[in-house]
């Protein structure tokens, strides 16, 4: 019965989350340029669709004269696109492990700026999911009236976010395969729209829409000002949101990953630049007036295509790509959190790969926080939109500034060219950031200015807790000597007995060699000499380090390595115990689990609680005993006063 239950459970899990992927097949789970465009570019491709609206909302405050400036604003944004592309190309070349703004800012501007970049990107990714999904559902309310009430809209938003979470948990290739068709169809239809519109204007000329003539005829605007131009430029730069995702996710590309990432970034820059110039030229030529529920894209589709098949395809794919845009954060944020986890700024379980070789903890976190955001703001896009672009322009500013500072210090070949490019990107991004903060402050931008410092403080707090824990667990020469003396003493006492005389076996799971492991091994060896330390090898580099440390400390207890190609630590440990139980001649088998007892209760959320899960799984196994060996650290004030204790080396 147990085997049938396990088989059903395995088949159900495979049906929902797909077949588990071996670590050896990691390269097969990655994407190329063709798959990278829908996975990492859906956000920026969708952003160019509503950027003309944001530009015109501001320019038309000056009346019909605003149309004369829309194309100039677009060319200025394209210059910024080129600069940011060159900035992130350099970032990808220098840091193939990814991380983008976080890695650059931390390396060249210092820890605090790195954490600010990490916080800004985290907020931007979360808001991208919430804004994209809520905007897509809002656009569907005209077709599906049931979605109009706030409660129904929030429910639909959360269900769509859950769907996106499920798809991304199945792996990058799965999401690339599913989203490629609508993304490429949208790009093709948009190109057809722009191309047809340009040909129509060249052949037949253009007549401004009646709507524009009626609405702007009574305008009392006093004319164009520099401030309006700056606001329009800032509004149009929303077309760049999502541009940084490729530099964060370099490791998700097939080898050569850097070349593929740069090529993907270049293609996205070209798509955004041509799309933005084409749409703004047509919008200016036809004197389009964007209004709520009737976007520039929709009006151009009706003018150029009419109510024909291409129009319906354009609007359907435009709605679809708003949902698909939320896939970009699912690819970018988990990688960012994993890099920050390796540096000790986020919980360590964010760096663990799931069954489908994706960072599952980061994906689930994005689902929970973005859903909470939808609930708090009642799924209102306009309430969340002012918060949307601030995070990304903070990251643009820090990346450009960090690289400019680095180039200034090194001053290698052609350094002046690189310095000019990076400085331009950093300075313009900073100006846009200031405009956003100034103009959107009362609309909700102040929330970002409150949340970001709190996030940075949280990152620093996590790092401090881990630093203290490393100090608490670091092996000292005294602890090693005490362990060896303990083993020698027990061996002398048992010298008249044969090893086969002991029918109780103790298994000690080991992740690293530290004071918790030493205490657990001492306890286990006091019960029986039949002790085996077991390491579930889900990370080859971690396994190599453990073997090295085990040999350096001349550990008397045998260490057995259990390969875990699918990173299923609990499953593989239980399978190992089953083999020992089946093949061994032991009356009892005891699993001794060393457990770190944090100084404060909330510190438990920084640990993955694998020990608790193992105990739960073995609860009804009659022949298997489970015991916890708690390790309580010294008080922090005593520890910090002891200058002889040093942090453990990362080696």
Per-residue pLDDT tens over the stretch 302-331: 899 988 899 999 888 888 888 888 888 888
CB of 611 closer than 8 Å to CB of 618: no
β-partners of residue 589 are 505, 624
Structural element, H or E, at residue 193: helix 172-204
SS3 594: strand
The span from the CA of 389 to the CA of 443, in Å, is: 13
Q: Which pLDDT score, from 0 to 100, does residue 114 have? A: 92
CB of 615 closer than 8 Å to CB of 593: yes
Q: Which domains does the chain have, with CATH numbers?
A: 24-466 (1.20.1740.10), 478-641 (3.40.50)
What the block records as the tokens of 463 is 């790092």
Q: Which pLDDT score, from 0 to 100, does residue 268 have? A: 93
Q: Which of 604, 594, 603 is nearest to 631 (CA)?
A: 594
The span from the CA of 155 to the CA of 58, in Å, is: 33
What is the longest distance spanned by two Cα atoms in the chain?
Answer: 106
The span from the CA of 441 to the CA of 449, in Å, is: 9
Torsional sign, CA 287, 290, 293, 298: positive
Total residues belonging to the chain = 651
Displacement of CA 204 from its chain's centroid (Å):
48
The span from the CA of 414 to the CA of 421, in Å, is: 11
Sheet with 504-509: list strands edge to edge: 559-563, 531-537, 504-509, 588-596, 624-631
The span from the CA of 43 to the CA of 55, in Å, is: 18
Distances (CA, A) of 489 to 183, 485, 494, 520: 70, 6, 9, 17
Q: Which pLDDT score, from 0 to 100, does residue 159 have? A: 92
Q: Which pLDDT score, from 0 to 100, does residue 650 have? A: 38
Residue 372 preceded by cis peptide, ω within 30: no
The span from the CA of 621 to the CA of 231, in Å, is: 67
Q: Which of 380, 393, 384 is nearest to 436 (CA)?
A: 393
178: phi then psi, degrees, rounded to nearest 5: -75, -40
CB of 26 closer than 8 Å to CB of 251: no
The span from the CA of 442 to the CA of 278, in Å, is: 33
What the block records as the tokens of 513 is 């060699």
495: phi then psi, degrees, rounded to nearest 5: -60, -25
What the block records as the tokens of 23 is 């670590």
* DSSP conformation class of 629: E
Q: Which pLDDT score, from 0 to 100, does residue 11 have? A: 55
SS3 296: helix
SS3 253: strand
CB of 436 closer than 8 Å to CB of 393: yes
For 368-419, the DSSP string reads HHHHHHHHHTTT-HHHHGGGHHHHHHHHHHHHHHHHHHHHHHH--TTHHHHH
Distances (CA, A) of 391 to 120, 128, 238: 4, 10, 11
The span from the CA of 263 to the CA of 244, in Å, is: 14
Beta-strand pair 624-631/588-596: parallel
Residue with tokens 């690189």: 418
What the block records as the tokens of 365 is 């976190």
Q: Kindly give the parts of the chain with pLDDT less than 70.
A: 1-28, 99, 139, 141-143, 208-223, 292-293, 355-357, 382-383, 385-388, 622, 634-651
Q: Which of 14, 533, 53 is nearest to 283 (CA)?
A: 53
């Amino acid at each position: 019965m147990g085997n049938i239950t396990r088989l059903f459970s395995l088949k159900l899990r495979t049906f929902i989350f797909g077949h588990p992927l071996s670590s050896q097949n990691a390269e097969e789970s990655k994407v190329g340029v063709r798959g990278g465009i829908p996975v990492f570019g859906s956000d920026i491709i969708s952003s160019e669709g509503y950027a003309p609206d944001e530009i015109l909302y501001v320019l038309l405050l000056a009346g019909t004269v605003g149309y004369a400036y829309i194309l100039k604003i677009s060319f200025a944004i394209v210059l910024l696109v080129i600069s940011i592309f060159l900035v992130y190309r350099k970032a990808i070349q220098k840091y193939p492990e990814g991380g983008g703004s976080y890695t650059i800012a931390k390396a060249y501007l210092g820890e605090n700026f790195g954490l600010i970049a990490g916080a800004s990107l985290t907020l931007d990714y979360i808001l991208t999911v919430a804004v994209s999904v809520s905007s897509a559902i809002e656009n569907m309310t005209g077709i599906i009236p049931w979605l109009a009430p706030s409660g129904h809209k929030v429910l639909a938003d959360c269900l769509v976010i859950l769907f996106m979470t499920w798809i991304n948990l199945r792996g990058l290739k799965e999401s690339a395969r599913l989203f490629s068709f609508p993304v490429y169809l949208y790009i093709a239809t948009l190109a057809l729209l722009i191309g047809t519109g340009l040909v129509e204007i060249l052949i037949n000329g253009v007549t401004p829409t009646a709507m524009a003539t009626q609405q702007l005829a009574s305008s009392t605007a006093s004319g164009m000002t520099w401030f309006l131009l700056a606001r329009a430029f800032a509004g149009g730069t929303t077309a760049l949101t999502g541009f940084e995702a490729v530099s964060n996710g370099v490791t998700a590309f097939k080898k050569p990953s850097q070349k593929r990432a740069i090529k993907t970034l270049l293609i996205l820059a070209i798509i955004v630049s041509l799309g933005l110039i084409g749409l703004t030229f047509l919008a200016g030529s036809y004197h389009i007036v964007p209004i709520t529920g009737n976007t520039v894209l929709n009006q151009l589709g009706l003018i150029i295509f009419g109510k024909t098949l291409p129009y319906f395809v354009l609007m359907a794919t435009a709605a679809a790509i708003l949902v698909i845009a939320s896939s970009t954060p699912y690819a970018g944020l988990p990688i960012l959190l994993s890099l920050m986890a390796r540096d000790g700024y986020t919980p360590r379980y964010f760096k663990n790969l799931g069954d489908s070789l994706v960072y599952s903890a980061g994906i689930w976190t994005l689902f929970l926080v973005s859903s909470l955001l939808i609930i708090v703001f009642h799924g209102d896009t306009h309430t969340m939109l002012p918060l949307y672009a601030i995070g990304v322009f903070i990251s643009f500013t820090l990346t450009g500034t960090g690289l400019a500072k680095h180039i200034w210090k090194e001053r290698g070949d052609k350094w002046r060219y690189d310095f000019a490019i990076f400085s331009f990107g950093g300075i313009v991004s900073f100006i846009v950031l200031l405009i956003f903060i100034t103009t959107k402050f009362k609309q909700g931008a102040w929330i970002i200015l409150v949340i970001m410092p709190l996030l940075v403080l949280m990152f620093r707090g996590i790092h401090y807790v881990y630093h203290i824990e490393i100090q608490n667990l670091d092996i000292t020469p005294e602890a090693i000597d005490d362990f060896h003396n303990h083993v020698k003493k027990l061996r002398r006492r048992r010298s008249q007995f044969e090893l086969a005389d002991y029918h109780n076996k103790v298994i000690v799971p080991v992740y690293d060699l530290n004071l918790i492991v030493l205490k657990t091994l001492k306890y286990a060896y006091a019960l029986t000499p039949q002790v085996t330390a077991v390491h579930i090898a889900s990370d080859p580099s971690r396994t190599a380090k453990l073997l090295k440390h085990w040999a350096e400390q001349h550990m008397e207890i045998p260490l057995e390595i259990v390969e875990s190609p699918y990173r299923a630590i609990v499953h593989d440990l239980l399978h190992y115990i089953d083999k020992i139980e089946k093949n061994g001649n032991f009356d009892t088998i005891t699993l001794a689990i060393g457990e770190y007892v944090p100084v404060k209760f909330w510190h438990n959320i920084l640990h993955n609680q694998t020990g608790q899960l193992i105990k739960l799984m073995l609860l009804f196994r009659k022949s298997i005993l489970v015991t916890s060996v708690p390790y309580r650290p010294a008080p922090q004030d005593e520890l910090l006063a002891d200058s002889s204790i040093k942090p453990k080396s990362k080696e």
